[in-house]
Chain A
Amino acid sequence: MNEQRPGMFIPALIGGGIAGLLAGIPLVSCLCCLWIIGGGIIAVYFLAKDSFVALSPGDGAIVGVFSGIIAAVVEFLISIPLAPLENKLFKNLLVELSEYMDEMPAGFESWMNNSFQAPLYMILLGLVISVVIFSALGALGGVIGISIFKNRTIKSSQGVIDVPKNSIKTENSDNSKS
């Protein structure tokens, strides 16, 4: 059997990229930690797809950590240009909602006004904090992904006869000798 583990960078990049993108987009980002855990699960899906060996929970954890780090960076990069738009978007939403709803939820207006008023050092600190938190959540997502896609890995390895090239050469050379 081919015991070599598949590369983790591409699956982590896909999972982390999707998670970071969704976590950074205004309104969609309100689903809290779900996206980061989801990113870890997606990363494991792509890892399991290309894997011919059974993946362990530890493999899921590490690919999840990588996807979390990538998600933190992507979310940070996306939130910079989208930050001014976010307040505008919420203001428009508030106006539209007020037409349909009799009473707006308490504190909605102040929550909207307080969004994105952080200074630069807080933003950079936020990136560091994001990397740490997203890594932990990504690891969690990765391990959950292993429990979901574990059977897929084993199935994909079935029916493949992995014969090392060296062994064929040895057999041929043995025949020629005899």
Chain B
Amino acid sequence: MSYEIRDSFWTFKNKVKIIYIFTLLGIVFWIAAIFLAPYLKSLSSPINKIIYYSFSKICHQAESRCFYIFGNQMAVCSRCLGIYIGFLAGTVYYPLIRGFGILSLPKHKTFFLATVPIGIDTLGNFFFLWNTAGWLRLILGFIWGIVLPFYFITGIADFFLNLNFHNKKQ
């Protein structure tokens, strides 16, 4: 019996690890694409249009709110870039804080604390009350993004673990 528990725990840890690795690879690929778009544009490669267009689905890409690299604007605005870099930082820190043996969501107060600064700033800019500098948007996005992998990895891993449990049951 103890062997079974140990074996299932080992499987559990491995599955969480697999989800973690895929998330890490995904966010690295995602951020690489953000930097790749202006580089490809500087080389006049047509692929840059596909990357810019893909990111236009989730970002306004206003020139005044984007950072510039290789002489061209990045594929997302400074706030979105901050969120994605924060997500990467959170993913890197995930095993140090949570490990792979536990699946638990952060307290919802953590999420609200991380959301308040970016929320106030976004609303202020949206209603033209103030205009935040790009670096500050990046930092606020980073603060929000750093908590997100703790939700994402937990949710996806839990889904696949439950899926496997139900399949075994059947």
Contacts and interface: CB of A to CB of B under 8 A. Distances in A.
A129 B151 contact: no
Interface in B132-158: 148, 151-152, 154-156, 158
Nearest to B87: A140
Interface stretch (A6-14, A46-54, A106-114, A154-162): A106-114
A122 B53 contact: yes
Nearest to B61: A111
Interface in A19-40: 29-34, 36
A143 B105 contact: yes
A36 B62 contact: no
B77 interface: yes
Interface string B28-58: 0000000000000000000001100110111
A143 B53 CA distance: 28
Contacts of B10: none
B60 interface: yes
B103 interface: yes
A86 B108 CA distance: 37
Dominant SS among interface residues on chain A: helix
Interface in B63-106: 63-65, 73, 77, 79-80, 83, 103, 105-106
A31 B62 contact: no
Nearest to B79: A32
Interface in A52-96: 56-62, 64
B9 interface: no
A130 B58 CA distance: 8
B111 interface: yes
B152 A140 contact: yes
Interface string A124-152: 01100110011001011011101110100
B158 to A, nearest CB: 4
B63 A106 contact: yes
A36 B64 contact: no
A57 B155 contact: yes
B161 A58 contact: yes
A134 B159 CA distance: 18
B108 A106 contact: no
A30 B60 contact: yes
Interface of B: 49-50, 53-54, 56-65, 73, 77, 79-80, 83, 103, 105-108, 111, 122, 126, 148, 151-152, 154-156, 158-163
Leading 4 A-B pairs by shortest Cβ distance:
A107-B63, A143-B155, A58-B159, A105-B64
27 contacts: A30-B62, A32-B60, A32-B77, A33-B58, A36-B58, A56-B158, A57-B105, A57-B155, A57-B158, A58-B160, A58-B162, A61-B156, A107-B62, A108-B62, A110-B63, A125-B50, A126-B56, A129-B53, A134-B57, A134-B58, A139-B155, A140-B152, A143-B105, A143-B155, A144-B111, A147-B107, A148-B108
Given A32-B79, A56-B158, A140-B152, 6 more contacts: A29-B60, A30-B60, A33-B59, A106-B64, A108-B63, A148-B108
Interface of A: 29-34, 36, 56-62, 64, 105-108, 110-111, 118, 122, 125-126, 129-130, 133-134, 137, 139-140, 142-144, 146-148, 150
